[in-house]
Each structure stands twice: as structure tokens, then as C-alpha cells.
Amino acid sequence: DSGVTQTPKHLITATGQRVTLRCSPRSGDLSVYWYQQSLDQGLQFLIQYYNGEERAKGNILERFSAQQFPDLHSELNLSSLELGDSALYFCASSAATSYEQYFGPGTRLTVT
């Protein structure tokens, strides 16, 4: 158990809908990262937050947004969902940038 929690574990929704994925980092970790793993692709970095501020942005679509709250938990919002958004979404946390990242169990999103 990495100490990073993600909810929900599974999510099934229809195209065009909006969902929110939640991540609680390890106690004391200030940095949160979001990753996407699609069926035919490797791990793709989406976005990083550090102590509430956006630190780095990767291949995140404009339909996706994220934020980190004062209690350091983070939410990833996915809107106008498409079939291609079906994937495993991981959250990871670290004490700071370039420290070891601890991954949560992931949320599997299925868009039908």
C-alpha cells in the first residue's frame, strides 16, 4: 500500500458526460501528479500540482482540468467524455519534484 488513495476504483459513464476523479496523497507529500494509461498507449503524464499550484503540464486535453485543494487532495475533472477517454487514470504523490513518486491504485474509466 503506497498510502495514496484514489476514488472511485471504477467508473462507467456515457459519452458527453462529465466525471470527477479524486486523489488523496500520502501524508506529508505536497506534490500530486496525474497520469493516463490508455489501452494502446503507455503511461502519459497529464499534470502536476505542488502545494496547490499547477507546476507542470503534459498531454492534458482542454476538456480535462485538475486542481489541488488546501488539504492537498486533488481532483481531475474530465468533461465532454469521448470513447477514447476510456483509460486507467493514476494519481501519484511525492514530497517534492524529482523525489520518488508513489502511485495510487488507479481509477478505471469506461466511456460507453
Partner 1 sequence: ILNVEQSPQSLHVQEGDSTNFTCSFPSSNFYALHWYRWETAKSPEALFVMTLNGDEKKKGRISATLNTKEGYSYLYIKGSQPEDSATYLCASDNYGQNFVFGPGTRLSVLP
Question: Where do contacts with partner 1 occur on this chain (CB under 8 A)?
Answer: 2, 33, 42-45, 48, 56-58, 90, 92, 97-106
Q: Which is nearer to partner 1, 31 or 72 (CB)?
A: 31
| DSSP letters for 72-110 | S-EEEEE-S--GGG-EEEEEEEESSTTSPPEE---EEEE
Q: Which is nearer to partner 1, 29 or 81 (CB)?
A: 29
Distances (CA, A) of 46 to 3, 28, 49, 80: 21, 22, 11, 17
Q: How far is the CB of 17 from partner 1 (least distance, A)?
A: 26
Q: How far is the CB of 34 from partner 1 (least distance, A)?
A: 11
Q: How far is the CB of 59 from partner 1 (least distance, A)?
A: 9
Q: Which is nearer to partner 1, 69 or 99 (CB)?
A: 99
Q: How far is the CB of 8 from partner 1 (least distance, A)?
A: 16
Residue 94 pairs in a beta bridge with: 31
What's the CA gap between 10 and 8, in Å, rounded? 5
Nine-digit cell string for 13: 459513464
Q: Which is nearer to partner 1, 81 or 92 (CB)?
A: 92
